[in-house]
Structure formats: structure tokens, C-alpha cells
Structure 1
Amino acid sequence: MGKKVDIDWSKLGFDYIKTDLRYISVWKDGKWDEGKLTEDNMLHISEASTVLHYGQSCFEGLKAYTTKEGKIQLFRPDRNSARINESCKKLLMPEIPEEKFINAVMQVVKANKEYVPPYGSGATLYIRPVMMGVGHNIGVKPAPEYIFTIFCMPVGPYFKDGLTPCNFIVSDDYDRAAPHGTGGQKVGGNYAASLQAHAEAAKKGFADCIYLDPATHTKIEEVGAANFFGITKNDEFVTPASPSILPSITKYSLLYIAEHYLNMPVYEKEVFIDELDQFKEAGACGTAAVITPIGGIQYKDNLHVFYSETEVGPITRKLYDTLYGIQLGDVKAPEGWIYEVK
């Protein structure tokens, strides 16, 4: 394994760190250029870019891991490629060919390999692909040009306490997405719309808020910027179904792991907020946090506690250990899930 930069990996949070190189490619006159690596971490764009005025942008998040043997590997980047293209289609932006996307991710990781945290450090390399509308345009219409860029940085746990239960509060006053809107895509506007609700939840002492479905406010949709799952008293893995939920790669990986590794029945279905009693464990899942156990959910005047506010439930821990083990190369992965960076 090559020499690493001098970083105290154990003290990393989820913060921006400038690494050596990033990738940038431009779409213009109906086609993509070849793309290149650059040291410049500043983007130079028109003041009339649609990304600035009309929110024509989307992004992805994935990670690179170091195995015990010192190999560097990616976890399901083909799914990130597919998802960013769904977001691009929704916002009338050109799609990024899968080969171009994965090759660009590989280039960025290889160019910054000394920033990939070592095995056993608890840290990972977070990779952020971004697509945005640029060029001179002031009308409300798709941009004449697009930038696709990828940068990366080493990160620690998204929630500073790692695999420790957090409490969440149901948002009565805010919706994350509109019915038939962009909730199912990873677009910038979804996150801008969540800032106020998150700030108010944090002010009340909660990790984040739970969003209910915008049409009826009766069903759980997302947990902040993550997907929800629950373990029923019958040991079933349940996660909400809705067109407004971002299709989390972590969630779909957990659905597979629960069924094929832990032999649990799995269901993607409506989860009603007034039926929390069916769950003995619950969690939030996503690329950044992997799994955050949910200690309790505050709904109106009641704090519903699942397994414990301080201890991780046994099935949640098994799910985490299996998924993280696959990502680190310690557990055999399903075919096609792991891409080695050579």
C-alpha cells in the first residue's frame, strides 16, 4: 500500500478537505469533451448559469475503501451512474455515459490515493460527482452548456458518534418534496428545501427530522437526507415505498443483505407514522452515514423509543457489520457490487 498523507484519520468529521486533483468535463454543442484532471478546485462559470438561478443541478455521493490487503475498492458505482442519469433526465440535462462516469470516478480516486484512509481507521474517501447547467442563459429553459465534475475527500462518520442511536422529530410544518415533484431525484433544490426543517429539529435537540408524505402527512418518507428502515417484531425488514423517496443505493443493498445474508422477509411498502409500534428497531441509511440507528421518534407529544436510546439493536448491528464488511472486503460481496481501483 502506498504512502498516505499525514492526517489523524480518527479525528476526521464530515468536512471538506482539498485533495490534489479533481475531474472536470464539459458538454457543449451536443457532446461531451474528453474530460481531464485539474488541480484547480474553483469553478469558473457564467453569471447567467442556470445552476445559479434555476437550480439546474444534481449530484451523487459514493465512497472508496481500503481493504485489509491494501486494495482500494468502490461500492456499486454503476448504481450511482444510473441514478445521476435519472436526475439528469428529470432536469433535461444530458446524460453521462456509464463508462465515462465510472472511469472519471476511478481517475479521481487513483489521483488522490494517498488520501484514501487505511483499513481499520474507521474513515473512508467520500467522492462527490456534480452535474450543473452553465453558460450564458437568462430564460427559464435548459442550459446551453453543462459541467460534470468529481472531487473527493477523506471523511469520518457523518454523525460524530458513529453507530450510536440518534433521536429524530417528525416535521409537521415542512415537506421535503412535492407530490410528483423531484423527491425521487438527487437534485440540489431538495436539500436547500430541507435546511430550515433540519435547523429547527437541531435546535430542539434532535439529529434531524422525519418527513411525512406531502399529500396526506400520514406516512414516513425520509429521515433528513437518508432513507428509513424498520425491523418488525416478527423480524421483517421494512422500508417505505413512495415515488417521492430518493432510491438509496444503501437501502437497496440492505434489502438484499437482509433477505440473502440474514434470511429475513423484506418489504418495501407504505409505513404509517401512527403504526411505529410494529417496529422493535429502526434506522436511517445512506452513503454518508451508512446506518444511523434511530433511538426514538418524537411525533406530536410522544417520543416513541425503539430498541434503546443508547444501545444499537442486534439486527441493525448485523446489517451494519455485513454491509460495511462487504464494502471493506471482509465479507464476500454479491457479484458485481465491488469495483477495484487499479
Structure 2
Amino acid sequence: MASPSINSSEEINWDEIGFGIIPTDTMCLMKCSTEEADTFSEATLVPYGNLHLLPSAGILNHGQGVIEGLKAYRTKDGHILLFRPEENGTRLKIGAERMCMPSPSVEQFVDAVKQTVLANKRWVPPVGKGSLYIRPLLMGTGSVLGIAPAPECTLLIYVTPVKTYHTGPLNLVIKDKLYRAICGSGGTGGVKSVVNYSPAYKALKEARAEGFSDILYLDAATGKFIEELSSCNIFLVKGKAISTPTAGGNILPGITRKSIIEIAIDLGYKVTERAVAVDELMEADEVFCTGTAVGVNPVASITHNNIRAEYKTGAEAVSQKLLQTLVGIQTGHIQDTRGWTLQIE
């Protein structure tokens, strides 16, 4: 969703922001030369703007990069909270290892995120008006021509104020010709590699042209089991039982996903992580998606082989109860008993 060009946070009509780029004040850079030592430099804050990259940079030629996504939230008394940033730092390290890159320590990562948010704190929306989306990007910036890791890597962190990625319940479609990740556990489906996302453009473009919100992908090995959407995890509800495909290998272990599982268990639901057949999905009472960008988003319908299944949505839906609890913790309205939030002022 496109956002207007805004030069100052004072100009923002917070009710009109969407999910897009609004240039903010500052971004953060950290570098590491793999030829000298796998140790990242101290975080450097610079004005938000263009990057200088060699044409032969690893990220440009071979897609050597991993991304993260997390948010900062404003509380009703004006404080700023991060939600589980150490989980993003840990996941970044796992992705970096898969893509043959060094990564900062979790402590370095969290500190760099804190510095970036504090430098842009005027862009954190008021409570109830959105959040500050934080995008860390770890990339190979050194020069490389052959198929090999870049000799230098850079961690870039930038931010932008956003609302949720989708507005309203989703209408999904399952297609059998395009797959999100290769079968087995040897691919990059289980990490946030930059190469995971552009291959989804074609299927997503076709789905939206047909009036659907997004694609729900099936496993490439059998075409019988659900995996995830273009950028978020999926859950189904049947009575008091909640199921979601097992993460790892093909499926990204989402941090919102992990949090929702714990919240659902606390609310008395039986949660199971397992292989979920598409036939079972079509018989569910309720379906919802989770992710940093989408939050907890209900699904109104799923179409598969020209058969449309419809699901419960609205105020009494399980997804709404889970969303209210999650947002309550993230914004300080509900006491955080798990240590998930980090106040950064």
C-alpha cells in the first residue's frame, strides 16, 4: 500500500497511514569484513537515504541476504515498547548461517534496534494508530563474481510507521502449479532469506487479479499439506483445538506465531503443531494468519479446486480474542508476565 511523501512526523494524519514506506530520520549501519574477523563494527546512525553499493555486491548478484521484521509500539502513557527483539536477533543468526554470512550477537542486534528506534521516536504512532515497523537487512556487500560468499557484510536497519498489512478478513486461494519452497528441509523456506519473496510475486499477482487477498501454498512434495501464505503463518480452529503446520524446514518459525501458540494455550485451547492436510483445512470452523506485518488476521474464505470454504470471523472469533491479548501485551494495556516487551527510553 502506497504512503504519502511526508517530511515531518508533525504532518502525519495517523488515520491515513497504510503499510508502506514513509521516509524517517535515521537508519543504522554495521559492517563486518569476513577476511579479517567475523566481528561487526559498532552501530553507526546515519541519515535515512541511498546506499552506496558496488555493482558486484553479493546481495545484488546472488541475493545473499536475510531480512527481519519487528515493531515498536507506543503505550497509552507515551512509552515505547519493543516486542521480543531478542527472538529476531536469534532468528537472524540462524538465517545468516544458512546464507554463509557472519551476524552480530543478539545483544548487538537488540542494541542497534534500540538506537534506531530512539533516533526515530517521533515517528512511533500514538497508541491505537499503528506501530513503527523495523526492517533489519543483513546482506553481502563485498565484491564477488563467482558463486561464493561476499567478503564483507552489512547490517542495515531502517524504520517506517505503518498500520497492519491487510485490512479486514482475507479471502485466500490455493493453487497447485506454483510452490513457495522446495520439498524437504534443505531449502530456505525456514529462514527469512531475501530470495524467498520475489518468487511469490507471480502467484500473488494472479491471485489478486482474480479478487483474492493472498495465496495459501501447499507442500511441493505431495501437494496435500498446507504450508503458509506469501508472508505469514496459518492456523485453523476446530472446536477448542487449534492446529498449525510444523515450522522449520519449509516453514518460517514466526515470532508472532510462537507468541500466539503460548497465548492460546493460556486461554484454554489445545494447540498442535503438525502436518495439516488441505482437506482438513476446508472443514475447519475458523482460520487465521499470524505475522509481524499482519498481526493476527482472520480468514473469511479459502478457495481450492473451485470449492469455496467460509469461516467464522468477527468479535466472537478465536482470532479476535488472541489478537486483543497480543496487542494488549505489545502496547502495555495487559501486564507482560513473560518478559516479552522491552521498554527502551
For the criterion TM > 0.5, the same-fold answer is yes
- Tell me, yes or no, if the aligned pair for 1:61 and 1:129 is still in contact at 8 Å: yes
* 1:52 corresponds to: 60
CA distance in 1, matches of 2:175, 2:196: 15
Deviations 1:56-100 (A, max 9, x none): 001100000011111100000000001111100100100210111
Look up the equivalent residue of 2:225 and give its one-letter code.
K
SS of 1:279's equivalent? coil
What is the Cα deviation at residue 193 of structure 1?
Answer: 1.0
* 2:150 corresponds to: 143
Residue 124 of structure 2 corresponds to residue 119 of structure 1: no
CA distance in 1, matches of 2:337, 2:102: 31
Residue 207 of structure 2 corresponds to residue 194 of structure 1: no
- Tell me, yes or no, if the aligned pair for 1:232 and 1:281 is still in contact at 8 Å: yes
Residue 245 of structure 2 corresponds to residue 240 of structure 1: yes
Residue correspondence of structure 1 range 82-101 to structure 2 within 5 A: 82-101=90-109
Residue 307 of structure 2 corresponds to residue 334 of structure 1: no
Within the candidate set 21, 26, 41, 1:21 is matched to 26
- Tell me, yes or no, if the aligned pair for 1:249 and 1:286 is still in contact at 8 Å: yes
CA distance in 2, matches of 1:307, 1:291: 14
* Mean Cα deviation higher: 239-248 or 181-190: 239-248
* 2:305 corresponds to: 300
Look up the equivalent residue of 1:268 and give its one-letter code.
E
- Tell me, yes or no, if the aligned pair for 1:219 and 1:272 is still in contact at 8 Å: yes
SS of 1:154's equivalent? strand
CA distance in 1, matches of 2:228, 2:315: 20
Aligned identity (percent) is: 37
SS of 2:197's equivalent? helix
- Tell me, yes or no, if the aligned pair for 2:48 and 2:158 is still in contact at 8 Å: no
SS of 1:282's equivalent? strand
CA distance in 1, matches of 2:210, 2:315: 23
Deviations 1:241-263 (A, max 9, x none): 15200000001100000001x11
CA distance in 2, matches of 1:68, 1:226: 28
* 1:10 corresponds to: 15
Residue 180 of structure 2 corresponds to residue 176 of structure 1: yes
Look up the equivalent residue of 1:25 and give its one-letter code.
M
Within the candidate set 191, 203, 209, 2:215 is matched to 209
Look up the equivalent residue of 2:40 and give its one-letter code.
W
Q: Structure 1 residues 198, 221: CA separation in 2 closer, same or farther (over 3 Å shift)?
A: same
Look up the equivalent residue of 1:172 and give its one-letter code.
D
* 2:82 corresponds to: 74
Residue 259 of structure 2 corresponds to residue 253 of structure 1: yes
What is the Cα deviation at residue 177 of structure 1?
Answer: 0.8
- Tell me, yes or no, if the aligned pair for 2:283 and 2:309 is still in contact at 8 Å: no
- Structure 1 residues without counterparts, runs of 5 or longer: none
Look up the equivalent residue of 2:286 and give its one-letter code.
E
* TM, length-normalised to structure 1: 0.94
Residue 133 of structure 2 corresponds to residue 129 of structure 1: no
CA distance in 2, matches of 1:4, 1:202: 32
CA distance in 2, matches of 1:106, 1:167: 36
Residue 286 of structure 2 corresponds to residue 281 of structure 1: yes
CA distance in 2, matches of 1:334, 1:220: 33
CA distance in 1, matches of 2:96, 2:338: 27
- Number of residues paired by the alignment? 332
SS of 1:5's equivalent? helix
- Tell me, yes or no, if the aligned pair for 1:165 and 1:293 is still in contact at 8 Å: yes
What is the Cα deviation at residue 135 of structure 1?
Answer: 1.6
CA distance in 1, matches of 2:172, 2:315: 15
* 1:155 corresponds to: 162
- Tell me, yes or no, if the aligned pair for 1:10 and 1:156 is still in contact at 8 Å: no
* 2:43 corresponds to: 35
CA distance in 2, matches of 1:132, 1:292: 30
What is the Cα deviation at residue 192 of structure 1?
Answer: 1.1
What is the Cα deviation at residue 40 of structure 1?
Answer: 4.2
SS of 2:11's equivalent? coil
Deviations 1:6-58 (A, max 9, x none): 31111101111110011001111223211200014211111111111111001
SS of 2:265's equivalent? helix
Q: Structure 1 residues 113, 16: CA separation in 2 closer, same or farther (over 3 Å shift)?
A: same
- Tell me, yes or no, if the aligned pair for 1:23 and 1:150 is still in contact at 8 Å: yes
Look up the equivalent residue of 2:73 and give its one-letter code.
Y
CA distance in 2, matches of 1:218, 1:277: 12
- Tell me, yes or no, if the aligned pair for 2:282 and 2:302 is still in contact at 8 Å: no
